[in-house]
Homo-oligomer: A and B are copies of this chain.
Amino acid sequence: MDILILTTGGTIDKVHDVRTERLVFDGSTAVSDILKYGRTDFPRVQSLMSIDSLDMSEDHRDAILQAVINAPENHIVVTHGTGTMEQTAHHLNGNIGQKTVVLSGAMRPQSLWRSDAEFNLGGAVIAAQTLPAGVYAVMNGRVIKARNVRKDLETGRFV
Contacts and interface: CB of A to CB of B under 8 A. Distances in A.
Contacts of A23: 16, 21-23
A108 B23 CA distance: 11
A22 B156 CA distance: 14
B130 A122 contact: no
Interface in A76-103: none
How many A residues touch the partner, as a band? 35 or more
A122 to B, nearest CB: 3
Contacts of A112: 16, 111-113
A153 B19 contact: yes
Contacts of A109: 16
A107 B40 CA distance: 12
A126 B128 CA distance: 10
Interface in A110-155: 111-116, 118-127, 129-131, 138-143, 153
Interface in A33-63: 34-35, 37-42
Contact of A141 (B108, B125, B140): B125
A156 B35 contact: no
In the A-B complex, the 9 residue pairs with the smallest Cβ-Cβ separation, listed nearest first, are A122-B122, A38-B119, A119-B122, A118-B118, A123-B126, A40-B141, A122-B123, A18-B156, A130-B130
Interface of A: 3, 11, 14, 16, 18-19, 21-23, 34-35, 37-42, 107-109, 111-116, 118-127, 129-131, 138-143, 153, 156-157
